[in-house]
Amino acid sequence: MSSNFLTLTNLRNLYLDFFVKKGHVIVPSASLVPENDPSTLFTSAGMQAMTPYFLGEKHPQGQKIANFQRCFRSEDIDRVGDNSHTTFFEMLGNWSFGDYFKKEQIEFFFEFLVDVLNLDPSHLYVSVFAGNKDLNIPRDEESAHLWQDLFQRKGVEAKIINNPRQGLQGGRIFFYDEEKNWWSRSGVPASMPVGELGGPDSEVFYDFAAIDDVQHFHQQSAFADQACHINCDCGRFLEIGNSVFMQYQRTQDGFKELAQKNIDFGGGLERLLTVVEGQSDVFQSSAFTGIIEKLVELSQKDYKEAQLQPAFRIIADHIRASVMLIADGVLPSNKEQGYLLRRLIRRSLRQAKHLNLEKEFLLDIVPEVIKLYQDLYPQLKAKEKHIDDVLKNEEQKFNRTLRRGLKEFNRLIVNKDQLTADLAFKLYESYGFPFELSIEEAKTRGIAIEEQIENKIAEANQQHAVLSRQSATEKFKGGLADHKDRTTAFHTATHLLQAALRRVLGDQVQQKGSNINVERLRFDFSYDQALSSEELAKIEQLLNQWLKNDLLVSSEILSKKEAIESGAIAFFADRYPDEVKVYTIGDPEDWVSKELCGGPHVEHTTQIARFGNLEIFKEKAVAEGVRRIYIRFKAI
């Protein structure tokens, strides 16, 4: 196939079509903001929504699923700037819930790479898990030999190597320890909480040396004094897919095997596109060139200039991610998801200074992002104005912060003979003026800078973070199990709330969004006027009556058509697959609520009441025609 015809959309479709042919059913992407999972701010892997099915719950679509999942990894924010890391990306996934396992998975992925995408197998390298005796988890000889056989069938030599960090050694398949070849949401086995799922994995890497100069990657990198191996950070090898053999659960004293063996495959769409397009830089793939070209046009700078590349890449990544986050309902703020969004925008604006981009420019980038994704995420186009408004507002606000910070900088620095860490920290804390700018300002004006200022600022910052972490820990000392139960209770309460709103205000009420944490439930719905105190009281009374009545919560799997015909309401009807799970609250013949939903839910409404009565503590407008209600538990 000619790479010229591949776009993000085509490649995504090729992958999904391939897995449909292999008997998989496609399910849609979940939001970047997980609906009912207070343990994490963002969807950072496709597997987040899949845990119940690894444990044996029946997926409405069967045991073989394929999907693409938009993901955001805030932990990678500081790594953006090299040739491969991004905060936002789309993850291609295929899943086996107790169906196929290693053999089929390894064959599927190899076939997709080599026979569908026409990648040269001699440019591919593989890692497998070396095992851990203490944990009683065996070495993955099976995968190593499966890979070896596949390579050899294509006439490619495939030597297996046991000490991978000592260099390539003419090998193709490498045994790494759990730092590299174990996957769980919390990382290595030792950091996994009891109950968490994980397993050994096998990653595939593409060798950029096939298209670019090896020296440029390794000898000229910060890793030049170490041997280059497939997990080296020099940028020569790019991980393009990870097959996790999801078969273990953490217990008090080790691991137990799950009742079924599962596959969790995740592959970075933009990375695959890069490789297929013959590039050695994700930002030179067509997933990014539109954005980069726009930045080149606005700044009149050259992307090829090595010292400017990080700025181009950071802005491109961060604005793309910001657009996707805003489309999924995140607004800039000082906490949780909103804080990360604000950080992305502000970092982009700071990096823009390196490109001499002085005027407002964020809105010029938005159409380039929308162009890439509009066929798949039509909500982007529909929300373009909102996205523009949010970005513009934040851009202006930050520019004001910078001006004010600069003024304070001038005021505070007068009569001082140097910029100290204390001063930089104070400017940051009180005026939001970034440390880096204080240092840059001092440098350009020839003001002396306290020795080791960066380390000292980092220390002050760390101390600050420890203090806020401490208070967060105290806040959550209720215990994790309790959190989970509260969250589930709020989730069922969300359905009750929607039912109560519709009874009191009419059927035009429709859910627009929801968000749950351990302390409260937030619910957005369409309605064009403020609620009166009588209406609020009536809604609250209905909710608490339903808790008292101990209604049954039951679920069934129906076709989407049957579900809608039965009167079940759907939050985003067109986003659901053909077979759906429907939750009914109350007598199945005379129900209070019936909704399409993935769960989890309580089984009886008194399980909600054990945390207290439900209380509406705030109601306000969030946008034209959209109201927001907050509910919490009130001790009875």
Residue whose beta carbon is closest to ligand SER: 266
In a 13 Å sphere around the CA of 84, the CA atoms on its Cβ side amount to 22
Q: Are 582 and 556 in contact (CB under 8 A)?
A: yes
Provide the 3-class DSSP secondary structure of residue 382: helix
Nearer to ligand SER, 43 or 498 (CB): 43
- Shortest reach from residue 440's CB to ligand SER, in Å: 37
In this structure, what token pair is assigned to residue 311? 């700025």
C-alpha distances out from residue 175 to 53, 159, 315, Å: 29, 11, 37
- Shortest reach from residue 80's CB to ligand SER, in Å: 18
Q: Which positions lie near ligand SER, rule CB under 6 A?
A: 45-47, 93, 183, 242, 244, 264-266
Sheet holding 521-526, edge to edge: 511-516, 521-526, 626-634, 613-623
DSSP H or E segment with residue 504? helix 480-505
Angle at 256 between CA 165 and CA 64, to 5 degrees: 85
- Shortest reach from residue 226's CB to ligand SER, in Å: 25
DSSP 42: S
Nearer to ligand SER, 44 or 279 (CB): 44
- Shortest reach from residue 66's CB to ligand SER, in Å: 12
In this structure, what token pair is assigned to residue 320? 């793309």
CA 256 to chain centre: 28
- Shortest reach from residue 138's CB to ligand SER, in Å: 20
Provide the 3-class DSSP secondary structure of residue 372: helix
- Per residue, the 3-state secondary structure of 343-370, as one string, reads HHHHHHHHHHHHCCCCCCCHHHHHHHHH
Nearer to ligand SER, 34 or 46 (CB): 46
- Shortest reach from residue 332's CB to ligand SER, in Å: 27
- Shortest reach from residue 63's CB to ligand SER, in Å: 17
Residue the block writes with tokens 């604006």: 349
422, amino acid identity: D
Nearer to ligand SER, 264 or 395 (CB): 264
- Shortest reach from residue 587's CB to ligand SER, in Å: 41
Sign of the C-alpha dihedral computed for residues 22, 27, 32 and 34 taken in this order? negative
DSSP H or E segment with residue 631? strand 626-634
Other beta carbons within 10 angstroms of residue 7's beta carbon come to: 15
